[in-house]
Structures are given as C-alpha cells and as structure tokens.
Amino acid sequence: MAAVDHLRNNIIDKLLTITNKDYLSALYKLVEKSSVDNDKVKLTKEQMKMLKLSDADIKNGRLLSQEEVDKSDLKWLKEL
C-alpha cells in the first residue's frame, strides 16, 4: 500500500503546481467519473474457489510469515 500512497502523493504534488484552470477542470472531471467504489468485479468460478481455499488455509493456520516466504524465494532463486 505504501507504493499507492507514494504515487498518490506525487500526483498531489504535481497538481499543486498546475495553474491552468481548464486543465484542472478537465482533470477534475476525469477523477470525478472514475469512482472506484461503484465498480464491481465479476469473479470467475476458479477465482471464487481460490478465495475459499485461502479462507480455509487461514482458518486452519496454514500460513507463512513474510520472512519465511522471502527465505523460500531466495533459496529458489539461488537454485536457478
């Protein structure tokens, strides 16, 4: 999420330097019409199955820490 925050802050910084009213108005209309909250994503049967499997893994404690995943990735990369 930090990458999203960084990107958002960079956009805000650039917006603050724009003085052209028409340009800002056009940008405002673009942002206003791109409502993320109203967009619904249709998941496939396979995606739903994967989400259910993930829920089962979480309920049953079948989890790995980020550190464990990183170590596993490094081991795998060294074997290439």
What does each C-alpha distance from 2 to 9, 44, 62 come to in angstroms?
10, 29, 26
Give me the pLDDT at residue 9, please. 92
Residue 51 near residue 41, CB atoms below 8 Å? no
Query: Is the pLDDT at 37 greater than 70, yes or no?
Result: no
Please report which confidence band the pLDDT of residue 1 belongs to, taking 50, 70 and 90 as the band edges.
low
Integer Cα distance of 38 and 29 in angstroms = 16
Q: What is the pTM of this model?
A: 0.44
Give me the pLDDT at residue 46, please. 96
Spans of all domains in the chain: 2-33, 45-78
Which position has the higher pLDDT, 8 or 41? 8
Query: Is the pLDDT at 78 greater than 90, yes or no?
Result: yes
